[in-house]
Chains A and B, each alone.
Chain A
């Protein structure tokens, strides 16, 4: 094995770990068992001759009936964070932790921090949640005759059996993302038939979207109609990134294929300023990262700043703050600037996935600068949000050593 391949393998192995989180395996198991039962039914269908057909159909029918009787969640129950809950139970999560809502049929909903919801219906044929605020990820096991619904503000998400997430910030933005199966979103300012989302698609609605639709103003990516948002066809933004009349790959295709330098060159050829003014949220992040990887931190910085300017409040804009901190610290050697961006990131995403690593970086920079008070404040934050984090011991030590007399 070449040294390079061996090192690559070692690094990749460490980055990957030995498998998905154990917490996700419960749902995986439930889905497999449900699929096995479905497959079992199919395998029991008749194969030989009409003489057996009737009997076989009867057997399948009886089997199906029996299966439905057992599979039907006639006694569907739910446990929130390990405690049994009943219909109309109010559910809420603290600002620092996620909490699971687990159903007896294997379906599971995981609420993110600072979420509030109500288990509005828990019946034999339907279960429903009302999300008042926050976000959850759901994995619903399909059972014949059972339906699931989620109400978020004026919207309703209808589910059969799927994996999806809903984000509703109490009266403002709705975000539904489907990773498996199909859901239909209805209500609010959507058309009567609603919007059907399939795996890999997402729907974003904001209060601005209704206003802009009504006013007939030009839609921004977050303000497009759901059909436009969920379509996989190239958008005008993406088309703008392909040299006109040429059969060359688009900027996004180049960046996705790891051709970062070529992606950056194409952006320069098309006019970098124009491109960053036209790209969609994710493609703009892709371009910024291409510039980072191609060794052009100034261009990366420019793209990230534009991203924050054009898409404030969006997840990519939050992430951009973190990348700006990295550039400031590693490429530009401006620790104060890095601190500023890390603080910005943490103020926007205090409990997000990347907050722990951002706090660790902030703690490190402030410590290196000898900013005792600043480091202590971050250490306290670290302990509040990540009491079990890898730096918890060091943070505790710092807090105790710097405790005012």
Chain B
């Protein structure tokens, strides 16, 4: 199965190299779900999500000639995605440091259907925004995507030791940050909010488990 997919990817890459414009739609169809998921989760339903995804696909088109092992297209796309997100985070870090911009965290408008989910996401993003870009990427790949250290080192192009060091540093920083936000800890240590906006938060929990067994008046 994996080999078949790798072969199909290699053929797709061949087509993209020969006819980039004509094959752009195929490239998007093949990787849209993967790229969207990774960008969405690494950046946290960011307001600029669609721009970043577009950048990823344009980079794939621009640099596909550089890929020497066509059957590894999928992991290469993942690396390009992670690098693009990293560059975006770095740009924001630089803006924060040099321009002293302190923009509040923003989330994609499609995720505002429940006020508690929005609250939680904004606060979670505020925590993640405080991690240096390299640590944040490693941390997010680990806690959100469940990647192992080996996978992280392959995706990010780090040595295993570097991935391990960055992950450990991210964990230390995260622990320190959440220790100053005990109420946030309470939020995520109970049932987690959901994007569908129905579970989780005190009120939203009620939405699913709502008891509407009112007595019927006879």
Give A contacts to B, CB under 8 Å: 1-2, 4-21, 24-25, 27-29, 31-33, 35-37, 39-40, 179-180, 249, 252-253, 255-258, 286, 289, 293, 295, 319, 322-323, 326, 329-330, 353-354, 356-357, 360-361, 363-364, 366-368, 370-372, 375-376, 379, 390-391, 394-395, 397-398, 401-402
Contacts and interface: CB of A to CB of B under 8 A. Distances in A.
A372 B212 CA distance: 9
A258 B178 contact: no
Given A4-B175, A5-B143, A20-B50, A25 B206 contact: no
A297 B114 CA distance: 20
19 contacts: A1-B171, A5-B143, A5-B174, A10-B188, A12-B44, A12-B120, A13-B143, A14-B200, A15-B124, A20-B36, A20-B45, A20-B108, A24-B50, A36-B24, A39-B62, A249-B102, A357-B204, A371-B214, A375-B214
A29 B25 contact: yes
Contacts of B130: 257-258
Interface stretch (B7-15, B51-59, B75-83, B156-164): B51-59
Contacts of B212: 363-364, 367, 375, 379, 394-395, 397-398
A357 B197 contact: yes
Count class of interface residues, chain B: 35 or more
5 closest A-B pairs by beta carbon, nearest first, are: A9-B143, A11-B192, A17-B195, A360-B207, A11-B188
B110 A21 contact: yes
B97 interface: no
B196 A29 contact: no
A295 B58 CA distance: 46
Contacts of B152: none
Nearest to B170: A5
Interface of B: 20-21, 24-25, 28, 32-33, 36-37, 40-41, 44-45, 47, 49-51, 53-54, 57-58, 61-62, 102-105, 108, 110-117, 119-121, 123-124, 126-127, 130, 139, 142-144, 171, 174-175, 178, 181, 183-185, 187-189, 192-200, 202-204, 206-208, 210-217
A251 to B, nearest CB: 11
Contacts of A9: 142-144
Contacts of B36: 19-20, 25, 28
A391 B188 contact: no
A40 B40 contact: no
Contacts of B54: 28, 31-32, 35
Most chain B beta-carbon neighbours within 10 Å: one of A17, A286, A376? A17
Nearest to A394: B212
Nearest to B177: A258
A329 B104 contact: no
A256 B188 contact: no
B210 A357 contact: no
Given A2-B174, A19-B40, 5 more contacts: A11-B188, A15-B195, A33-B24, A293-B184, A353-B113
A2 to B, nearest CB: 6
A322 B119 CA distance: 13
A357 B20 contact: no
Nearest to A402: B216
A31 B50 contact: yes
A8 B173 CA distance: 14
Contacts of B210: 360, 363-364, 367, 391, 394
Given A14-B195, A395-B212, A8 B115 contact: no
Given A16-B41, A258-B123, A402-B216, A4 B185 contact: yes
B177 to A, nearest CB: 8
Contact of A357 (B41, B115, B126, B143): B115
Contacts of B37: 18-19
A16 B108 CA distance: 10
A323 B115 CA distance: 8
Contact of B202 (A17, A330, A366, A391): A330
A37 B21 contact: yes
Given A36-B57, A361-B206, A17 B194 contact: yes
Contacts of A17: 40, 111, 194-196
Nearest to B208: A390
A255 B123 CA distance: 10
A322 B120 contact: no
Contact of B143 (A1, A32, A253, A323): A1
Contacts of A14: 192-195, 199-200
